[in-house]
Amino acid sequence: MTDSTTEIRAAVRWATGVLAAAGIASAPVDALVLAAHCLGVETSEARRLLVLGGAELPQGYAALVAERATRVPLQHLTGFAHFHGLTLLVGPGVFIPRPETETLVSYAVAAVRDSGVDTPAVIDLCTGSGAVAFAVKAEVPSAAVYAVELDPLAHGWAIANRERLGLDVEIWLGDARTAYEELLGLVDVVTCNPPYIPADQVPVDPEVRDHDPALALYGGSGDGLAVPLAMAARAAELLKPGGVLVMEHADVQGAGLLRGLSASDSWRRADDHPDLTGRPRVTVAVRD
Ligand SMILES: C[S@@+](CC[C@H](N)C(=O)[O-])C[C@H]1O[C@@H](n2cnc3c(N)ncnc32)[C@H](O)[C@@H]1O
């Protein structure tokens, strides 16, 4: 395709080929999403135009496709990530929220509702874009939701998302391991999707390896559990007796995380739960 070939069917077919050749498994979807982005319409509308044929794509589509072919994340090109019914602003400097983290949100929302408290206190450690914190607040508006993020760039994205979504979440810039001293022992639910990739396991996908911040990826030890266990220790300090920690982990880390939690004797019980594909991804632990 050149910028003079902009009929939508021909252009999207061309883009799909370019993206597939670049090793992008989701090439047809990405080609369509970029077309929608260029047209300023929803993806469903772009799909309709694709079926009808004849619509012209604006100039710039080819350049966007070329950028995506260098493995710049799709969400960096559109500026958005969809998560649990919310549309979040994302870009360089912040971890792109993943669909599997919606499983964490489901367990967190259940724990918040089960707390039986009128205004449950929820803290999201390692908030990144704020995805989990905003999803919980959107589901349970009566909750008082707090979040903390160490990386100033990521914190900036979370603040931008709060303004965009209009959700009342307090977002602190600092280290989650010392966050919210004033709430020690008072919190009903702590959520956390920490960095947990083992230190020497560099991700294969360039979108992750080259564009997600290292601080968001690596768990700080050979098994990747050093940071998650440090976050669990802070959660134990923040939670009230009977309060609940909901933490995401890699599918191979469930047993190790449960062992780490049981070594601390802070937890009355801890269980591991699968995501929608059946892989164990979320630990739910109840404070003693
Ligand atoms: C895997 S990302 C998760 C982001 C977001 N919760 C989500 O699910 O999309 C982990 C986040 O933890 C942040 N982080 C790492 N160490 C931290 C620390 N000690 N205190 C606070 N945030 C930290 C990273 O900057 C990154 O934004």
Q: Can you tell me which atom of ligand 1 is nearest the CA of 133?
A: 6
Q: Return the residue matching tokens 């983290």.
A: 101
The angle at the Cα of 245, spanning 237 to 183, to the nearest 5 degrees, equals 35
For the CA of 154, the closest atom of ligand 1 is 27
Give the binding-site residues of ligand 1, using a 6 Å CB cut-off.
95, 97, 101, 126-129, 131-132, 148-151, 154, 175-177, 193-195, 213, 215-216
Give residue 128 CA to ligand 1 midpoint distance, Å: 5
Active site residues: 95, 193-194
- Reference 146, options 192, 213, 99; nearest CA is 192
Q: For a ligand 1 pocket test, name from 149, 157, 178 the mutation site with the most ligand atoms within 8 angstroms of its C-beta.
A: 149
Atom 4, ligand 1: residue with shortest CA distance = 128
Task: Say what the pLDDT of residue 6 is.
Answer: 86
Q: What pLDDT is stored for residue 3 in this prediction?
A: 47
Give the architecture (CATH level 2) of 82-287.
3-Layer(aba) Sandwich (3.40)
> Distances from the Cα of 57 to the Cαs of 11, 37, 42, 45, 227, in angstroms?
8, 10, 14, 13, 46
Smallest CA separation from ligand 1 atom 10, residue: 216
Encode pLDDT of 179-226 as tens digits: 999 999 999 999 999 999 999 999 999 999 999 999 999 999 999 999
- Secondary structure of 99-146 in HEC code, one letter for each residue: CCHHHHHHHHHHHHHHCCCCCCEEEEECCCCCHHHHHHHHHCCCCEEE
Question: How far is it between the farthest Cα atoms of the chain?
Answer: 67
Mean pLDDT of 76-102: 97
Looking at ligand 1, which residue's alpha carbon is closest to its atom 27? 128
Report residue 4's pLDDT band, with 50, 70 and 90 as the boundaries. low
Decide: pTM greater than 0.75: yes
**Per-domain boundaries in the chain:** 8-70, 82-287
